[in-house]
Structure 1
Protein backbone atom coordinates (compact mmCIF):
# COMPACT_ATOMS: atom_id res chain seq x y z
CA UNK A 1 0.00 0.00 0.00
CA UNK A 2 1.36 3.40 -0.91
CA UNK A 3 0.15 6.71 0.51
CA UNK A 4 0.60 9.82 -1.58
CA UNK A 5 0.50 13.13 0.26
CA UNK A 6 0.51 16.64 -1.09
CA UNK A 7 3.87 18.44 -0.93
CA UNK A 8 2.53 20.85 1.70
CA UNK A 9 1.70 18.00 4.09
CA UNK A 10 5.06 16.37 3.49
CA UNK A 11 6.78 19.66 4.34
CA UNK A 12 4.70 20.04 7.50
CA UNK A 13 5.55 16.52 8.63
CA UNK A 14 9.26 17.08 7.93
CA UNK A 15 9.18 20.35 9.88
CA UNK A 16 7.39 18.71 12.82
CA UNK A 17 9.88 15.83 12.95
CA UNK A 18 12.79 18.27 12.72
CA UNK A 19 11.45 20.34 15.62
CA UNK A 20 10.87 17.24 17.76
CA UNK A 21 14.43 16.07 17.14
CA UNK A 22 15.85 19.52 17.99
CA UNK A 23 13.85 19.64 21.24
CA UNK A 24 14.98 16.15 22.24
CA UNK A 25 18.62 17.02 21.57
CA UNK A 26 18.30 20.18 23.69
CA UNK A 27 16.73 18.22 26.53
CA UNK A 28 19.47 15.59 26.39
CA UNK A 29 22.25 18.18 26.31
CA UNK A 30 20.81 20.15 29.22
CA UNK A 31 20.01 17.15 31.43
CA UNK A 32 22.98 14.96 30.67
CA UNK A 33 26.01 17.14 31.11
CA UNK A 34 28.32 14.18 30.60
CA UNK A 35 31.16 16.51 29.64
CA UNK A 36 31.67 17.38 33.30
CA UNK A 37 34.24 15.25 35.16
CA UNK A 38 31.73 14.87 38.00
CA UNK A 39 28.40 13.11 37.52
CA UNK A 40 25.24 12.80 39.59
CA UNK A 41 23.58 9.38 39.96
CA UNK A 42 21.40 9.72 36.88
CA UNK A 43 24.34 10.84 34.76
CA UNK A 44 26.54 8.05 36.15
CA UNK A 45 23.88 5.49 35.20
CA UNK A 46 23.75 6.90 31.69
CA UNK A 47 27.55 7.09 31.45
CA UNK A 48 27.84 3.45 32.48
CA UNK A 49 24.71 2.24 30.68
CA UNK A 50 23.30 0.66 33.84
CA UNK A 51 20.18 0.97 36.00
CA UNK A 52 20.00 2.85 39.29
CA UNK A 53 19.74 -0.47 41.16
CA UNK A 54 22.93 -1.71 39.53
CA UNK A 55 24.68 1.55 40.41
CA UNK A 56 23.61 1.17 44.05
CA UNK A 57 24.95 -2.38 44.02
CA UNK A 58 28.28 -1.23 42.56
CA UNK A 59 28.54 1.48 45.23
CA UNK A 60 28.17 -1.24 47.89
CA UNK A 61 30.90 -3.20 46.08
CA UNK A 62 33.26 -0.22 46.33
CA UNK A 63 32.55 2.11 43.40
CA UNK A 64 34.13 5.42 44.52
CA UNK A 65 31.76 8.25 45.35
CA UNK A 66 32.10 11.82 46.50
CA UNK A 67 29.53 12.69 49.17
CA UNK A 68 28.66 16.32 49.87
CA UNK A 69 25.93 16.40 52.49
CA UNK A 70 23.19 14.20 51.04
CA UNK A 71 24.44 14.65 47.49
CA UNK A 72 26.49 11.92 45.82
CA UNK A 73 28.78 12.64 42.88
CA UNK A 74 30.98 10.38 40.83
CA UNK A 75 34.35 11.22 39.31
CA UNK A 76 34.64 9.77 35.79
CA UNK A 77 38.33 8.95 36.20
CA UNK A 78 37.63 7.15 39.49
CA UNK A 79 34.77 5.22 37.85
CA UNK A 80 37.01 4.13 34.98
CA UNK A 81 39.84 3.11 37.34
CA UNK A 82 37.43 1.11 39.49
CA UNK A 83 35.96 -0.64 36.45
CA UNK A 84 39.42 -1.62 35.18
CA UNK A 85 40.32 -2.96 38.62
CA UNK A 86 37.30 -5.31 38.57
CA UNK A 87 38.87 -7.59 35.92
Structure 2
Protein backbone atom coordinates (compact mmCIF):
# COMPACT_ATOMS: atom_id res chain seq x y z
CA UNK A 1 0.00 0.00 0.00
CA UNK A 2 1.47 3.29 -1.04
CA UNK A 3 1.07 6.45 1.02
CA UNK A 4 1.10 9.77 -0.74
CA UNK A 5 3.20 12.60 0.67
CA UNK A 6 0.08 14.77 0.87
CA UNK A 7 -1.25 12.73 3.85
CA UNK A 8 1.87 12.88 5.97
CA UNK A 9 2.16 15.44 8.73
CA UNK A 10 5.51 15.88 10.39
CA UNK A 11 5.69 17.35 13.88
CA UNK A 12 8.89 18.22 15.62
CA UNK A 13 8.73 18.19 19.41
CA UNK A 14 11.30 19.03 22.01
CA UNK A 15 12.27 16.16 24.33
CA UNK A 16 10.27 17.72 27.18
CA UNK A 17 7.16 18.02 25.00
CA UNK A 18 7.52 14.44 23.80
CA UNK A 19 7.84 13.19 27.37
CA UNK A 20 4.76 15.15 28.40
CA UNK A 21 2.78 13.85 25.41
CA UNK A 22 3.74 10.26 26.23
CA UNK A 23 2.66 10.76 29.87
CA UNK A 24 -0.69 12.24 28.78
CA UNK A 25 -1.34 9.32 26.43
CA UNK A 26 -0.34 6.86 29.15
CA UNK A 27 -2.74 8.48 31.65
CA UNK A 28 -5.58 8.39 29.09
CA UNK A 29 -4.98 4.69 28.43
CA UNK A 30 -4.80 4.01 32.18
CA UNK A 31 -8.11 5.81 32.82
CA UNK A 32 -9.83 3.93 29.98
CA UNK A 33 -8.48 0.62 31.26
CA UNK A 34 -9.87 1.36 34.73
CA UNK A 35 -13.22 2.35 33.22
CA UNK A 36 -13.41 -0.86 31.19
CA UNK A 37 -12.56 -2.94 34.27
CA UNK A 38 -15.24 -1.15 36.28
CA UNK A 39 -17.75 -1.69 33.46
CA UNK A 40 -16.90 -5.39 33.44
CA UNK A 41 -17.70 -5.62 37.16
CA UNK A 42 -21.23 -4.43 36.45
CA UNK A 43 -21.95 -7.85 34.94
CA UNK A 44 -20.44 -9.77 37.88
CA UNK A 45 -22.74 -10.37 40.86
CA UNK A 46 -20.33 -11.68 43.52
CA UNK A 47 -17.23 -9.58 44.09
CA UNK A 48 -14.02 -10.16 45.99
CA UNK A 49 -13.07 -7.43 48.47
CA UNK A 50 -10.65 -5.97 45.94
CA UNK A 51 -13.31 -5.96 43.21
CA UNK A 52 -15.82 -4.42 45.63
CA UNK A 53 -13.34 -1.64 46.36
CA UNK A 54 -12.93 -1.02 42.64
CA UNK A 55 -16.70 -1.17 42.09
CA UNK A 56 -17.31 1.37 44.87
CA UNK A 57 -14.21 3.46 44.19
CA UNK A 58 -13.08 3.22 47.82
CA UNK A 59 -9.98 2.13 49.72
CA UNK A 60 -9.70 -1.31 51.33
CA UNK A 61 -9.76 0.25 54.82
CA UNK A 62 -13.04 2.00 54.01
CA UNK A 63 -14.56 -1.28 52.85
CA UNK A 64 -13.49 -2.93 56.11
CA UNK A 65 -15.20 -0.17 58.09
CA UNK A 66 -18.33 -0.43 55.95
CA UNK A 67 -18.47 -4.18 56.58
CA UNK A 68 -18.20 -3.48 60.30
CA UNK A 69 -21.03 -0.96 59.85
CA UNK A 70 -23.22 -3.70 58.38
CA UNK A 71 -22.38 -4.04 54.69
CA UNK A 72 -23.42 -7.65 54.01
CA UNK A 73 -20.73 -10.15 53.10
CA UNK A 74 -20.79 -13.84 52.29
CA UNK A 75 -18.12 -16.05 53.89
CA UNK A 76 -17.71 -19.60 52.60
CA UNK A 77 -14.73 -21.57 53.88
CA UNK A 78 -12.75 -18.42 54.61
CA UNK A 79 -13.47 -16.91 51.19
CA UNK A 80 -15.27 -13.57 51.35
CA UNK A 81 -17.59 -12.34 48.61
CA UNK A 82 -19.86 -9.34 48.45
CA UNK A 83 -23.11 -9.45 46.50
CA UNK A 84 -23.21 -6.45 44.18
CA UNK A 85 -27.01 -6.22 44.52
CA UNK A 86 -26.71 -6.18 48.33
CA UNK A 87 -23.96 -3.55 48.11
CA UNK A 88 -26.24 -1.33 46.02
CA UNK A 89 -29.17 -1.92 48.38
CA UNK A 90 -27.02 -1.17 51.46
CA UNK A 91 -25.62 2.00 49.87
CA UNK A 92 -29.13 3.19 49.04
CA UNK A 93 -30.35 2.48 52.57
CA UNK A 94 -27.37 4.23 54.12
CA UNK A 95 -27.80 7.27 51.87
CA UNK A 96 -31.43 7.59 53.03
CA UNK A 97 -30.47 7.32 56.72
CA UNK A 98 -27.24 9.26 57.28
CA UNK A 99 -27.94 9.60 61.02
CA UNK A 100 -27.98 5.80 61.26
CA UNK A 101 -24.51 5.67 59.72
CA UNK A 102 -23.15 8.26 62.17
CA UNK A 103 -24.70 6.48 65.14
CA UNK A 104 -23.41 3.08 64.04
CA UNK A 105 -19.98 4.54 63.25
CA UNK A 106 -19.81 6.14 66.70
CA UNK A 107 -20.65 2.78 68.29
CA UNK A 108 -17.97 1.12 66.18
CA UNK A 109 -15.33 3.67 67.25
CA UNK A 110 -16.37 3.23 70.89
CA UNK A 111 -16.05 -0.58 70.57
CA UNK A 112 -12.63 -0.22 68.97
CA UNK A 113 -11.43 2.09 71.73
CA UNK A 114 -12.74 -0.30 74.40
CA UNK A 115 -10.95 -3.20 72.72
CA UNK A 116 -7.73 -1.17 72.52
CA UNK A 117 -7.94 -0.29 76.23
CA UNK A 118 -8.58 -3.95 77.09
CA UNK A 119 -5.64 -5.06 74.94
CA UNK A 120 -3.37 -2.47 76.57
CA UNK A 121 -4.48 -3.70 80.00
CA UNK A 122 -3.75 -7.30 79.07
CA UNK A 123 -0.41 -6.28 77.57
CA UNK A 124 0.45 -4.35 80.75
CA UNK A 125 -0.34 -7.41 82.87
CA UNK A 126 1.88 -9.60 80.73
CA UNK A 127 4.91 -7.33 81.03
CA UNK A 128 4.61 -6.81 84.82
| CA contact 1:33–1:43 (8 Å) conserved in 2 | no
Q: 1:52 aligns with which of 49, 57, 60?
A: 60
Who wins on radius of gyration, i.e. which is larger? 2
Q: TM-score, normalised by structure 2?
A: 0.45
Q: 4+ residue runs of structure 1 moved beyond 3 angstroms?
A: none
| Structure 1 residues 78 and 49, CA gap change in structure 2 (3 angstroms) | same
Q: Which has the higher contact order (CA 8 A, sep 6+)?
A: 1
Between the aligned partners of 1:64 and 1:4, the Cα distance in structure 2 is 56
Unaligned ranges ≥5, structure 2: 1-10, 14-24, 98-128
Higher helix proportion (structure 1 or 2): 2
Q: 1:4 aligns with which of 3, 8, 12?
A: 12
Between the aligned partners of 1:33 and 1:65, the Cα distance in structure 2 is 21
> Does the alignment pair 1:41 with 2:49?
yes
Query: Aligned pair count?
Result: 72
User: Could you give the per-residue CA deviations for residues 48-71 of structure 1, whole angstroms, max 9, x where no partner exists?
Assistant: 010000000000000000101111
> Does the alignment pair 1:73 with 2:81?
yes
Unaligned ranges ≥5, structure 1: 6-16
